[in-house]
């Protein structure tokens, strides 16, 4: 990715986080929603936004639907704040890396506990 794309990606992440926490009032965003990563295309026309959502998987899907319904507002706000020639199309998804990491750690803990039990 180019340096410009990296910079735009970071700016989008920061500004989306700020907008979500201060401007959006959708009740589907009541669980804590965090923008964990923004991946932008080389031509800066499309951005995939990963969201970390506290709660069950259903809360994550509700948060994605809320963000999808606010996409016009979000793009307008981003355009005013960032002064980009064109604001990228936004696509939202739930970031599952934290859940996967926690699952992996739980599996490792279980293996270590089993080994300790066999060595005692």
- State pLDDT tens for residues 4-25: 889 999 999 999 999 998 999 8
**pLDDT tens sequence across 49-65:** 999 988 888 888 999 99
> How far is residue 93's CA from residue 49's CA, in Å, rounded to a whole number?
6
Total domains, the chain: 1
Domain CATH code at residue 41: 3.30.300.20
Q: How many CA atoms lie within 13 A of 115 on its CB side?
A: 6
Is pTM beyond 0.85? Reply is no
Domain that holds residue 99: 3-119
């Amino acid at each position: 990715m180019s340096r410009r794309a990296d910079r735009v990606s970071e700016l989008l992440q920061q500004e989306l986080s700020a907008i979500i926490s201060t401007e959006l009032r959708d009740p589907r965003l009541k669980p804590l929603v965090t923008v964990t990563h923004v991946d932008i295309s080389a031509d800066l026309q499309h951005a995939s936004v990963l969201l970390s959502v506290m709660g069950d998987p259903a809360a994550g899907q509700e948060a994605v639907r809320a963000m999808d319904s606010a996409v016009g507002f979000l793009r307008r706000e981003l355009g005013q704040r960032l002064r980009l020639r064109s604001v990228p199309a936004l696509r939202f998804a739930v970031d599952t890396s934290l859940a996967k990491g926690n699952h992996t750690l739980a599996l490792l803990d279980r293996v270590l506990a089993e080994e300790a039990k066999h060595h005692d």
